[in-house]
């Protein structure tokens, strides 16, 4: 597909805002053995009051988590001490989280965000969606270039240009002083727990970030099919350019399954890849408060699901929400136990 020239550029997409969280580090690990994402991973982080600002996970493959720059080395040391010799880790310091919101599960917003990252020529250390935001982890030294590209592709309601946006930002120390809380409720309060059944879960290995624009075009086509994307993550492979993309599509009640169409479009846009699809699965979306504001929220979720033997197929934690994908027949016990652990209405 021929890229559009400047004179052919599509109108900017209108979105609510842009958020940047600086002074971060990204830790990616891969475990072929028993060191999966479970209480053995999340409990030590909670006990040591480590606030997780970002996390993506795909069962049987790898996990990527974002933490404060100052906690990077100590978190790496704690996890390596618990892991086996077969487990591999990579810590990337000096990162920034960039988020655009809201996307309302619209593929065109998610696709445009990914296209912006590709055009900014920045290394992508992770990608995650929440019910409201689409988020990426990039090198901190590239955040201005990324934001500049985002302002070319989006129209933000609060700021007219990138200079105005950065002039309004708080210094990182002041931001963390305000958001990192130390309170402990007997039951953690969240605003809402929303289930969404009848989803699928796709996984596809992308050979390099050089094809991110093709991924963006593919996602835009998903929107043309009348589908939403309630869940999407990307995790880098350690010491390689490869990215693991995993996403779910949702369709209106009574609509025909579009799985074969999606597979065909993927093969047309990215020939040679071998996308995998799992059905049926269900999503559970916990809306706020931001888990990064209070350590231990992720651990509470992981421990609860582990207690009732519900397997986490994929997970995204970013910008005020936790999104988890489970097998559809495990949705009922998952909702029951989460309703006991968290204080929130269940949709």
- What mean pLDDT, rounded, does the chain reach? 87
Position 3 scores a pLDDT of 47
Instruction: Give, for 20, the enclosing helix (H) or strand (E).
Output: strand 17-30
Higher pLDDT, 262 or 130: 262
CB 166 within 8 A of CB 132: no
- Give the helix ranges, DSSP H, for the chain: 39-47, 72-82, 107-119, 143-153, 162-167, 172-179, 212-224, 259-269, 297-307, 331-341
Distance CA 159, CA 309 (A): 46
Q: How confident is the model at residue 33 (pLDDT cuts 50, 70, 90)?
A: confident
pTM: predicted TM-score of the whole model, two decimal places: 0.91
Q: What is the pLDDT of residues 231-259, one digit of tens each?
A: 999 998 877 778 999 999 998 888 899 99
Q: What is the mean pLDDT of residues 40-53?
A: 90
**For residue 2, what pLDDT is reported?**
42
Name residue 99's beta-bridge partners: 19, 135
For residue 87, with 0-12 CB atoms within 10 Å meaning exposed, 13-18 middle and 19 or more buried, which class applies?
middle
- Dihedral angle sign, alpha carbons of residues 104, 107, 108, 110: positive
Contact 191, 287 (CB under 8 A): yes
Out of 3.20.20.70, 3.90.340.10, 3.90.400.10, 3.30.2130.10, the CATH code matching 15-181+202-276 is 3.30.2130.10
Task: Give the model confidence (pLDDT) of 195-221 as tens digits.
Answer: 999 999 999 998 877 788 899 999 888
For the stretch 317-329, pLDDT in tens is: 988 889 999 999 9
Task: Please say if the pLDDT value at position 186 is more than 80.
Answer: no
Q: Name residues whose C-beta falls within 8 Å of residue 297's C-beta, 6 or more positions apart in sequence.
A: 188, 190, 291, 322
pLDDT at 170: 65
Q: How confident is the model at residue 6 (pLDDT cuts 50, 70, 90)?
A: very low
Whole-number pLDDT of residue 288: 77
Give yes or no for residue 268 having a pLDDT over 60.
Answer: yes
72-127, pLDDT tens digit by residue?
A: 999 999 999 988 888 899 999 999 999 999 767 788 899 999 999 999 998 889 99
Please state which of the ranges 148-152, 179-183, 236-240 shows the lowest mean pLDDT: 179-183
């Amino acid at each position: 597909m021929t890229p559009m020239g400047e004179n052919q550029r599509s109108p900017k997409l209108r979105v609510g805002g842009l958020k940047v969280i600086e002074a971060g580090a990204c830790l990616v690990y891969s475990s072929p053995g028993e060191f999966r994402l479970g209480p053995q991973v999340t409990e030590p982080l909670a006990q040591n009051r480590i606030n997780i600002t970002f996390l993506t996970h795909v069962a049987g493959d790898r996990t990527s988590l974002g933490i404060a720059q100052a906690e990077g080395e100590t978190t790496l040391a704690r996890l390596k001490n618990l892991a086996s010799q077969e487990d591999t880790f990579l810590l990337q310091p000096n990162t920034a989280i960039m988020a655009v919101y809201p996307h309302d599960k619209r593929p065109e917003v998610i696709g445009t965000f990914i296209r912006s990252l590709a055009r900014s020529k920045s290394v992508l250390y992770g990608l995650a969606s929440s019910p409201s935001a689409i988020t990426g982890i990039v090198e901190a030294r590239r955040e201005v270039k990324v934001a500049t590209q985002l302002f070319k592709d989006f129209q933000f309601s609060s700021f007219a240009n990138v200079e105005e946006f950065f002039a309004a930002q708080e210094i990182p120390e002041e931001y963390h002083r305000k958001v990192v809380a130390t309170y402990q409720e007997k039951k953690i309060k969240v605003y809402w727990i929303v289930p969404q059944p009848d989803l699928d879960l796709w996984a596809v290995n992308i050979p390099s970030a050089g094809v991110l624009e093709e991924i963006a075009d593919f996602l835009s086509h998903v929107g043309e099919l009348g589908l939403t994307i309630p869940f999407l993550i990307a995790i880098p492979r350690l010491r390689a350019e490869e990215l693991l993309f995993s996403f779910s599509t949702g369709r209106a009640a009574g609509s025909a399954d579009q799985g074969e169409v999606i597979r065909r479009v993927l093969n047309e846009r990215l020939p040679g890849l071998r996308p995998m699809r799992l059905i049926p699965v269900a999503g559970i979306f916990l809306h706020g408060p931001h888990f990064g504001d209070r350590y231990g929220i992720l651990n509470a979720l992981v421990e609860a699901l582990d207690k009732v033997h519900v397997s986490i197929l994929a997970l995204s934690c970013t910008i005020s929400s936790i999104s988890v994908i489970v097998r559809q027949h495990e949705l009922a016990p998952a909702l029951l136990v989460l309703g006991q652990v968290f204080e929130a209405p269940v949709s």
